[in-house]
Amino acid sequence: MEKLKNYIYGQWVEGTGNGIPLYNAVNGEQVAISDTEGLNFEQALDYGRTVGYKNLLSMTFYDRGEMLKKVALYLLERKKKYYELSYKTGATHVDSWVDIEGGFGTFFTYSGLAKRMLPNTPFWVDGDTQKISANGTFLGTHILTPSEGVSIQINAYNFPVWGMLEKLSTSLLAGVPSIVKPSPFGSYLTNAVFQDMIESGILPEGAVQLVCGEPGNILDYVQDGDSVLFTGSATTGRKLKALPSIAGNAVRFNMEADSLNCSILGLDAKPGTPEFDLFIKEVRNEMTTKAGQKCTAIRRIIVPENLIGDVQHALSKALDQTKIGNPLSRETRMGSLVGKQQYDEVVRKVNLLKAETELVYDGKHELVDADYEKGAFMSPKLFLNDKPFEKNISHDVEAFGPVSTLMPYKDAEEAAALAKRGKGSLVGSIVSHDNNFVAETSWKMASQHGRIFVLNRDSAKESTG
């Protein structure tokens, strides 16, 4: 069985322990072993701060942007083998496209930004020079330089490629070396892409390192100038943020965690309107893409109280038509969760939701060329919270799978109030053709959302979702 190697201090190093067995999410067969035992994390961090930092600092923004573009092109030529590995994580072809080529897209995007928005220097003079004295002989300006440290990214299991590349795109463009720590589940895909990045010879020495497996004591050695980019559960994130090495050394800590995103159906969007149909399609897609394992998936479906029955019926019918099974089958539209461990965790969260809300749809899908016993398959599940201002479980618990909850509202005021019950969401969406409803709802919910997505018959054709 292949043991994934780690890439640290400029060489491929195999762990010395038994490691973690990694399984095919579709059929349960073992794929690889990840192991970090015996690695010298202190040396890895020092290597990044010295060799990696020095090499990236010698490059201008234009150089770094061109580097990103070349790497993306190199990986794009080799994408076929990444898809073959991605299917083993339970991802369909469409799911894999988002992860793999979406990841490459971040490199292309930031490469373009470098040429359009940044200077051809290793640092950035930000804004105009400001006169501080009356005669203008005493001046001030802002200058942005790379942090003299290493960016440690601790990634989630749902996007093995995109999760790594979206963080590398900004760190490398800024001139900051990185250590990538993917989730063990699906890390065999991350490892394959990373190997090709190194073999390309495009990245300077020390710019990137890879740790495939448990993080061990790597965070014990962070210091001022380093940063930690964490994607995962809020519980784990809060524990890491409170570590003495992070809290005591002013280490920058960025956390993307639980997000109970919502979608609001406008009061005008009755059955038979384009908006109603768009809403059902959008919610169905968000529940089933990546088997609901997305940070931006719709967890709360906020619907006019007089349309709850219509939405429940239409959405249940749409979910019934979703083919679940082996991602390699042409029929399949939804694959599996990433593993049995994640399946058990989603079941635990589903049981918490059952304590306060009603399970109104629990699809009994026959699998396409797959077996529930062997794979980590879960059918879509739809809950109804009939009193969303009293029953808070829907606003507090995220089942990270194909699970969502319907809830009623009376007017724009209530819709916005329910949206904000998520206590800070990555995205919220409004599906309506009533500009007044959209305007009132969006500004009232904006304070608790990173992005508000508006969809209607006019924007649907060009909308990216």
Residues in the chain: 465
Q: How far is Cα 298 from Cα 357, in angstroms, rounded to an integer?
A: 17
- Of 101, 166, 214, 256, which one is the catalytic site residue? 256
CB 210 within 8 A of CB 191: yes
Q: How far is Cα 82 from Cα 9, in angstroms, rounded to an integer?
A: 25
Pairing mode, if any, of strands 139-144 and 124-131?
antiparallel
Residue 292: Cβ within 10 Å count: 24
214 catalytic, yes or no? no
Q: How far is Cα 359 from Cα 384, in angstroms, rounded to an integer?
A: 6
Q: Where are the alpha helices (DSSP H) in 370-449?
A: 393-396, 412-420, 435-445
> Residue with structure tokens 């010295």?
50
Q: How far is Cα 299 from Cα 448, in angstroms, rounded to an integer?
A: 15
- List the end-to-end C-alpha distance of the chain, in Å, as a whole number: 40
- Of 101, 214, 262, 295, which one is the catalytic site residue? 295
Q: How far is Cα 89 from Cα 300, in angstroms, rounded to an integer?
A: 26
256 catalytic, yes or no? yes
CB 342 within 8 A of CB 395: no
Q: How far is Cα 270 from Cα 248, in angstroms, rounded to an integer?
A: 55
Phi and psi at residue 265, to the nearest 5°: -90, 125
- DSSP-assigned letter for residue 424: S
Residues 218-227 as b/e (b if ≥16 CB within 10 A, e otherwise) read bbebbbebbb
- DSSP-assigned letter for residue 325: B
> Residue with structure tokens 């001030």?
140
Q: How far is Cα 282 from Cα 455, in angstroms, rounded to an integer?
A: 10
DSSP 3-state percent helix, strand, coil across the chain (nearest 5): 40, 20, 40
Q: Which residues are catalytic?
A: 256, 295
